[in-house]
Structure 1
């Protein structure tokens, strides 16, 4: 830990938004081609061009709006709804099917980029955008095609959400201990600390470090020490209160974040956890202050941890 600070994972969010901008721009080009080169002479080509222009405007909105899942979801839904209005005017089944494919891609993108609740809302909009316009469009579209498109949209969105969630979990979790890895921990802490400062809610962090871990490695071997470390972290995680989380920030260094806990409650949690620890460990506690940043909060917990270790060594030397 040593006071290092990492901000929220905005890089991934920005990359995701860039992907959405590219997808919307491709849809704008395809829609414009449908207006310039219509499949049916009676198609209202002016609306195809209007929807293409709207997609370009949405691209601009994505590039200027703050990076946030809410704005990403809103732009996705706006793009689907506008295109659905165009589908209701399609005179050919090809146009309906083309946009249905685009809607499926939009749902898959939501399943990949957004949290499950937001992605589920987009998936519902996608199904409605396939079914309702096809029912009122001038084009003759067989009901089996509509039902099949809706089913494939839901299935592909669900599969994408499952796989994305699994990969995201693996990317955020330390494989040995099940705690958040360093990057994911700092990302989450970078969210909860500003929120607690805004609302005035209590929050404490506990820096945890295994005592004499080199000795543990020598005595039990690396694999045995890994097993003991995993058991220690599992015990800490099992005793965390609701809303709290644990991160592994170094080899044998962990930090527990306890929202709603003052310093006394945090020290009580440490004392309770230490009674059943499989290894001897030291802890340092810091309660969030109004003037704190993430870094200063972790620095104070680190300083308290070192003081605890020094006191333990002094006591051991006096025994």
Structure 2
């Protein structure tokens, strides 16, 4: 069995998607449609924006979405049956167009609003994120004490926490004294935590204005780590993903337990491949993000 997984924030890099754009007419069509829907030249941003420019949340989310869906447009032409879709954080939203839940244009609207809502929530609630290397979920649960929130359970030994900006020093001290390595992430706020409640409220209203359909292929939710096809369930999960932990390890294990042995990471970078190796070294991960990746499938 096969699953397609899409990357989240942090997968961006300058000139991403350019070789796909230059070699595949269907990719140029996707870029053109997204440029129009976004009301901005996203293709130019993907190809020519600097590494620093691509760190901006509102641009980064749209750019990663664009390259992910452009790569998928080529991949979908291959005779490969897809049994599940999933994605890490932003990547779960990227599933909506390939799974037939939303039109391409509505996905762009949704991500544009999501990025703006998250940016505004971060300004309203100054916060940040730490990757805690070497920690397991149970190690951190007893140390939270309202000083931080578990935001991502990426692998058995990598957990991301969200915390208030003014608690950075004390939380880092608590975690390093416990023997964990702490790395502050280059993000604009404490995502997947209560800091994002204003974004959840705003995005819920946006979703009600869009035409959601049932998924043609099950989407494995970050919120439940289970597969869903019902449109209302999918909306509920996406909304709650903003303020609850991303259960990425559980998502991968769920699909693997259902029989998935090959994961196609579709989009820029190879971030998910590294994470999946830590979850289960036996899993096969095939990257689809450049022309050379497509050529190998021929």
Using structure 2 for the length normalisation, give the TM-score: 0.26
Between structures 1 and 2, the one with greater helix share: 1
Greater Rg, structure 1 or structure 2? 1
The higher relative CO (CA closer than 8 Å, separation ≥ 6) is in 2
Using structure 1 for the length normalisation, give the TM-score: 0.25
